[in-house]
Structure 1
Amino acid sequence: MYFSYGETETEYLKRRDPRLGEIIGKIGHVDRETDTDLFSSVVHHIIGQQISTKAQATIWARMQAQLGEVNAEGISAAGIDTLQAFGMTFRKAEYIKDFAEKVKTGEFALQEISRLPDNEAIQALASLKGIGVWTAEMILLFCLQRPDIFSFDDLAIQRGLRMVYHHRKIDRKLFEKYRRRFSPYCSVASLYLWAVAGGAIPGMKDYAPEKNRRK
């Protein structure tokens, strides 16, 4: 399943920002895979922190092969040693086990997340061990498919903004200007900024001073 959007979102963004409109026209529709289950999405995102996509996929495949469906009951029964054996760190195994236990006992009301507004959902997810604001924002975008997520902490989005709008630096004030411009479809704008940052349009460059670039 991919993040769902269409002409309503893209035409709005084109009207609001002709430069982004040019980018949308050049790239076309962006297919970004999404998660369908909130519990497994949280686990998947914890696994993927600070490792490559390939390493994340390997660990995830091992977990699915042994546990089948990734749910609170299976994680709780597996224990930290088993989780580590899939290839993750002890700390990540602790985070995942803690999350599973909280869901299993009802201490963390996972199903309530989908009913909360964005800021409250982010705050609730970020209260979990191993989940920061950026990870919570990505869960809202790629699992719950919230339409208006725009993460200041995402370095690739900042890079995309520099490349599209020729900025040397993206500070919070400038970032919020773009958030207001793209809202209520910031998530779709994010898809295109990620694509630009990833090299979807040959010849575009990052205008940040080279010594200040972080990848």
Structure 2
Amino acid sequence: MVTSSREGAVPGAAAVPPYWEEAKAELMKRDRIMKKLIPQIGDLHLVGHDDPFTTLARSIVKQQVTAKAADAAWQTLRQALPRFTPSAVVKAGAGQLAACGLSKRKTEYILDLADHFKAKKVHASQWDQMDDEAVIAELVQIRGITRWTAEMFLIFNLLRPNVLPLDDPGLIQGISQNYFSGEPVSRSDAREVAANWEPYRTVATWYLWRSLDPDPVK
């Protein structure tokens, strides 16, 4: 199972991103692998996460652990803090977060994230109007938020259509298996393949994720 943060759902369960159908048509027209792959996946599509703070906190919990372990830790955390807001997290403090099974470092990261949101050190209300690199630059100032984490946020919260997360192992594996017969793939190789996907690199990436794991990761 691919352990990167990603989801899919049947249409009707959640809104389809507005660019999705056009992107599918364009990718199938331009790319022979996408022409074969997209119909195989069926009606699944990218599903967004509504709340920026929750999305980022969950991404921190998921870092460097299996999907199963991450989901268990996240469920424990949400049960302890049903109202998951920056203020509630700050009030809970390190002790309660650690009691949910989080490491010392992840506890520190989530508290720092909560502090950034509570003190308005980030401009969450403006992210919709900011370009991708500007959002990434702001997010990586928060402890525990890497470029990969920020790119997952662009995909799953802001639903940006043209993100290429080159640090994502699932993307690299998907390109290797689908375009290079399983041979090792460099970042340069990945960029060359993805040049044909613009301006819908998010969509192509999502289909490669699904080619590795057809079941949506929750």
Q: Same fold (TM over 0.5)?
A: yes
For the pair 1:81 / 2:103, whether they are aligned, the reply is: no
- Superposed, 1:158-197 pairs within 5 Å as 158-166=172-180, 168-197=183-212
Shift of 1:32: 4.3
Shift of 1:18: 1.9
Tell me the residue number matched to 1:112.
Answer: 126
Matched residue type, 2:69: A
Segment of structure 1 superposing worse, 55-64 or 6-15: 55-64
Change (3 A) 1:33 1:88: farther
Cα RMSD (Å) of the superposition? 1.8
Shift of 1:199: 6.6
Tell me the residue number matched to 1:49.
Answer: 63
Change (3 A) 1:199 1:68: closer
| Length-normalised TM-score, structure 1 | 0.86
CA distance in 2, matches of 1:101, 1:33: 27
Tell me the residue number matched to 1:12.
Answer: 26
Segment of structure 1 superposing worse, 95-104 or 175-184: 175-184
Q: Which protein shows a greater Rg? A: 1
Name which of 4, 7, 24 aligns with 2:38. 24
CA distance in 1, matches of 2:20, 2:110: 35
Deviations 1:123-172 (A, max 9, x none): 21112100111111011101111111111111111111111112523222
Name which of 83, 90, 93 aligns with 2:104. 90
Shift of 1:6: 3.6
CA distance in 1, matches of 2:22, 2:47: 20
CA distance in 1, matches of 2:39, 2:178: 13
SS in 1 for 2:90: helix
For the pair 1:143 / 2:157, whether they are aligned, the reply is: yes
CA distance in 1, matches of 2:24, 2:41: 12
Matched residue type, 1:171: S
Segment of structure 1 superposing worse, 87-96 or 188-197: 188-197
Segments ≥4 residues shifted beyond 6 Å: none
Same amino acid, percent of matched pairs: 28
CA distance in 2, matches of 1:134, 1:106: 23
CA distance in 1, matches of 2:85, 2:173: 35
Stretches of structure 1 that go unaligned for 5 or more consecutive residues are 201-215
CA distance in 2, matches of 1:2, 1:135: 23
CA distance in 2, matches of 1:106, 1:199: 38
Matched residue type, 1:99: L
Q: Count matched residues.
A: 200
